[in-house]
């Protein structure tokens, strides 16, 4: 084993141990909490769909509806210390806010991390176009998904003031059954496969790894069989002419240091670790699966 192989192995071990260790130690430190939210907005029915012209009639409390929209809002404590309901400013509560011209038809909680959070959706007469999100506390990873049926054709927003906390909007967030299935699968191998639509899209990556392994095996066999070394027995190195022929043959063949199995294995390991890390980072951009832990609230 050459010195470069030893350095490569040591570097790989340090990377595999150092990155998770750094992450764990950073997580243990106190962090300012961040309330993240994402909104999935869809217009279900609009006038130009033609459904209303076909005899379909929409009404709510005997009032005809022209538009029908569905908004799903995920809100959670993305990181940091516990956020308490007492930290919410009374004059600017945490809420889902629609346009004044919008009309809220139905509000329900479809998922949360645990019932003990005490999450409640409150509508007040002072703000008919808003839905207040009350809660007792939210640890890091805690949160909920709210579903609101409304008449407006614009997406709502999440606003409010929580002491010692910032609000962050995760835009273009999809909150449907297919996404829930991927999130519940997690950020490991199973989640990695589901998030990419199964095994078929992963075939190019698997082919790349198989190619690297095949080259590794080939170099090992070449090393066992002598590889691309020039056999000195065929040359008279005790003469100037023989030495010149030997030097020419070496130059034509090229002096190459074949990669060892350890070198290729390290390369495969780095590729896999990078892919899983990218999957983990990408998974952190969507809602944590802890929010979907209690789905009984939607029944």
Residues forming a β-bridge with 149: 70, 106
Q: Spell out the residues 6+ positions from residue 197 whose beta carbon is closer than 8 angstroms to its own.
A: none
pLDDT in tens, 93-144: 999 999 998 999 999 999 999 999 999 999 999 999 999 999 999 999 999 9
Please spell the DSSP secondary structure of 175-238, one letter per residue: -SHHHHHHHHH-SSHHHHHHHTTSSGGGHHHHHHHHHHHHHHHHHHHHHHTTTT---GGGS-TT
pLDDT in tens, 28-86: 555 788 999 999 999 887 766 555 556 666 777 777 777 889 999 999 998 888 999 99
Q: How far, in Å, CA of 263 to CA of 7, rounded? A: 10
pLDDT in tens, 144-202: 999 999 988 899 999 999 999 989 998 767 787 767 766 666 555 555 555 545 556 55
pLDDT of residue 284: 46
pLDDT of residue 83: 94
Task: At 71, list the tokens.
Answer: 């908004």
Q: Spell out the residues 6+ positions from residue 99 whose beta carbon is closer than 8 angstroms to its own.
A: 129, 152, 154
pTM: 0.59
């Amino acid at each position: 084993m050459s010195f470069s192989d030893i350095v490569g192995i040591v570097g790989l071990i340090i990377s595999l141990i150092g990155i998770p260790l750094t992450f764990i130690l950073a997580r243990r430190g106190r962090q300012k909490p961040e309330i993240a939210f994402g909104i999935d907005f869809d217009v279900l029915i609009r006038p130009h769909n033609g459904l209303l012209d076909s005899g379909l009639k929409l009404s709510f409390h005997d009032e005809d509806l022209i538009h029908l929209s569905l908004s799903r809002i995920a809100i959670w404590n993305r990181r940091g210390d516990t956020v308490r309901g007492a930290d919410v400013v009374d004059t600017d509560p945490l809420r889902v806010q629609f346009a004044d011209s919008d009309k809220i038809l139905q509000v329900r909680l479809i998922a949360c991390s645990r019932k003990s959070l005490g999450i409640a959706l409150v509508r007040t007469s002072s703000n008919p176009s808003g839905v207040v999100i009350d809660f007792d506390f939210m640890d890091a990873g805690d949160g909920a998904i709210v579903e609101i049926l409304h008449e407006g054709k614009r997406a709502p927003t999440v606003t409010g003031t929580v002491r010692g906390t910032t609000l962050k909007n995760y835009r273009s967030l999809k909150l449907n059954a297919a996404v829930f299935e991927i999130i519940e699968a997690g950020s490991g191998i199973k989640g990695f496969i589901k998030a990419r639509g199964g095994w078929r899209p992963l075939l190019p990556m698997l082919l790349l790894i198989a190619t690297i392994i095949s080259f590794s095996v080939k170099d090992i066999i070449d090393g066992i069989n002598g590889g691309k070394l020039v056999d000195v027995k065929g040359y008279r190195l005790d003469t100037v002419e023989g030495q010149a022929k030997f030097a020419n043959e070496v130059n034509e063949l090229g002096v190459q240091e074949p990669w060892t199995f350890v070198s290729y294995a390290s390369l495969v390991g780095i590729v896999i670790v990078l892919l899983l890390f990218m999957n983990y980072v990408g998974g952190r951009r969507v809602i944590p699966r802890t929010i979907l832990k209690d789905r009984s609230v939607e029944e």
